Chain A
Amino acid sequence: MNKVLMKGNEAIAEAAIRAGCLHFFGYPITPQTEVAAYFSKKLPKLGGTFLQAESEVAAINMVLGAASAGVRAMTSSSSPGVSLKTEGISYIIGSDLPCLIINVQRGGPGLGGIQPSQSDYWQATKAPGHGDGHLLVYAPDRVQEIIEYIFTAFDKAEQYRMPAMLLLDGTLGQMMEPVSFDDIPVPVKHEKPWATNGHKNAREHNIINSLYLKPEELEIKNFERFERYAKVCENEQRYEEYMTDDAEIIIVAIGIAARVSKSAIDDARAAGIKVGLLRPITVFPFPTKAFDRIKNDPKVKNILTVELNMGQMTDDVKLALECKKPVELLRHTGGIVPTPKEVFAKLCEINGGIRK
């Protein structure tokens, strides 16, 4: 297998190009600027569009335009920049357009900091913009998986006609790991009969719009959209389990928090603590199916969530468990990443010490 070292941010851009996305609109912000830098070198040679817009607001509206024409289009930013994009994201949701948005999260709120964070979880999963609406949200935890889910995100965004997001953190954007493009899938081609792509009067003209002045029409649109979301929740949940079979304590964590937790789990297992990891890969849809066994399994005594925020995902975990198991939270914010030692200490505390 042919392996190269790549930064998460570079892998995002390379994978997107290979997935057929030749249209990128962005605005620089730490810690994800390498995404745009990579595109800027590659896209002009491929006949694509790389455009550094005058602002994040402009960039997301350019994505709206390109997506309307039926091409694969994307933008990338970090937390404060994504907040600026939320108006456009809502318009894209309201126009039923597929596209990809990257959020390499940094500490917040406000300008916050530039170190890794997961504090846009609520924004990504509950309120990506005004109005009723959702994004497909993927939260990979390694560079190879970022590549894999770039393909999935474009495919599913087009299948369900909704925008998709990769929700990452500064660590994943900046870190380098060996990756291979040997086994990447062939991009799925979706018909786009709705696209406003020029037809020389061969058909009725298409209109892309999110304005419905008649409440009845708007309501029908919203109900129809939520029928699609129901299918998404039914069919698109993704998660990974690590040593959960006999686990008495199950950690639920995503991204870098999941990787730190894996380190702690190896140490805890060596100390005789039965602990495993449930790692959501989709956070919208939240992988509720993974909790069907856990919530009714008498072996499982405790759930521990590990988050780089004040406990945003913990809400979803409690809902998925229907509050049938006690949930504890280990959290850091502002750019601080928990250490494996901290997680290990918390596991010992929950376990009531180390008993072999």
Chain B
Amino acid sequence: MAYNILFAGFGGQGVQFAAKVTTYSGMMSGMEVSLLPSYGPEMRGGTSNCAVRIDSKMIASPIVNEPNLLMALNQPSYDKFAEKVEAGGTVIFDDSLIKRSDTRTDISVYPIPATKLAREHGFVGLANMIALGYMAKKTGFLSLDIIKEGLAKAVPASKAALLGKNIEALEFGFNY
């Protein structure tokens, strides 16, 4: 199976970090991986996005034009990328921030109020991990255990104290 994933949201919502965790997790499950962030003015609001590819074969291009898996954490990202999702693909989106703007019936769409849940359950700033846990539950694209391993790799040594809370948020999303 090949996953062409797009993580998208405002700069600061942690889409780049969620992408990095996913990439590490893919790598640790023995797959080939690549990660390509958007850069430049997009980082400062609007649609900061990050393309991750996970494949059993060697990855040719790191660019994702038509994702089969999308995590959208703000309205502009949903509006821009939902229509690009491959038929049969899956969208995870934060419905505490996003109104679904498409009418597609050929994709699976799973809402989760990640930002609201994060605020109400002591996970402020970790809506990204809640959404990632939910994505793992809904698609099975990576196991929860392997994502925990990827998370441990992605958290820098200087921020090791934050690992526990990230794992809790991930599990919360998985069990939602």
Task: Indicate if B131 sits at the interface (CB-CB under 8 A).
Answer: no
A256 proximity list for chain B (CB < 8 A) = 61, 63
Task: Indicate if B1 sits at the interface (CB-CB under 8 A).
Answer: no
Among candidates A31, A171, A178, A263, residue contacting B60 with C-beta atoms closer than 8 Å = A263
A5 with B20: CB separation less than 8 A: yes
Task: Indicate if B140 sits at the interface (CB-CB under 8 A).
Answer: no
| Candidate in A30, A176, A341 with the most chain B CB atoms within 10 angstroms | A176
Encode contact with B along A1-20: 1 for CB under 8 Å, 0 otherwise. 00101000000000000000
Task: Indicate if B33 sits at the interface (CB-CB under 8 A).
Answer: yes
Within the complex, the shortest CB–CB distance from A173 to chain B, in Å, comes to: 9
Among candidates B33, B37, B65, residue contacting A177 with C-beta atoms closer than 8 Å = B33
A114 with B61: CB separation less than 8 A: no
Within the complex, the shortest CB–CB distance from A327 to chain B, in Å, comes to: 23
Task: Indicate if A262 sits at the interface (CB-CB under 8 A).
Answer: yes
Within the complex, the shortest CB–CB distance from A338 to chain B, in Å, comes to: 10
B20 proximity list for chain A (CB < 8 A) = 5, 176
Q: Given A5-B35, A30-B40, A31-B40 in contact, is the A176-B61 Cβ separation under 8 Å?
A: no
A28 proximity list for chain B (CB < 8 A) = none
Chain A contacts with B in 160-195, Cβ cutoff 8 A:
170-171, 174-178
Q: Complex Cα distance A263/B27, Å?
A: 20
Q: Complex Cα distance A174/B63, Å?
A: 12
B39 with A259: CB separation less than 8 A: no
Q: Complex Cα distance A5/B36, Å?
A: 12
B34 proximity list for chain A (CB < 8 A) = 175-177
User: Which residues of A come within 8 Å of B, CB atoms?
Assistant: 3, 5, 30-31, 114-115, 170-171, 174-178, 256, 259-260, 262-263, 266, 337, 339-341
26 contacts between A and B (CB under 8 A): A3-B27, A5-B23, A30-B39, A114-B39, A170-B39, A174-B37, A175-B35, A175-B36, A175-B62, A176-B36, A176-B37, A177-B33, A177-B62, A178-B27, A178-B33, A259-B60, A259-B61, A259-B62, A260-B61, A263-B60, A266-B60, A337-B63, A339-B65, A340-B60, A340-B61, A340-B65
User: Which residues of B come within 8 Å of A, CB atoms?
Assistant: 20, 23-24, 27, 33-37, 39-40, 60-63, 65
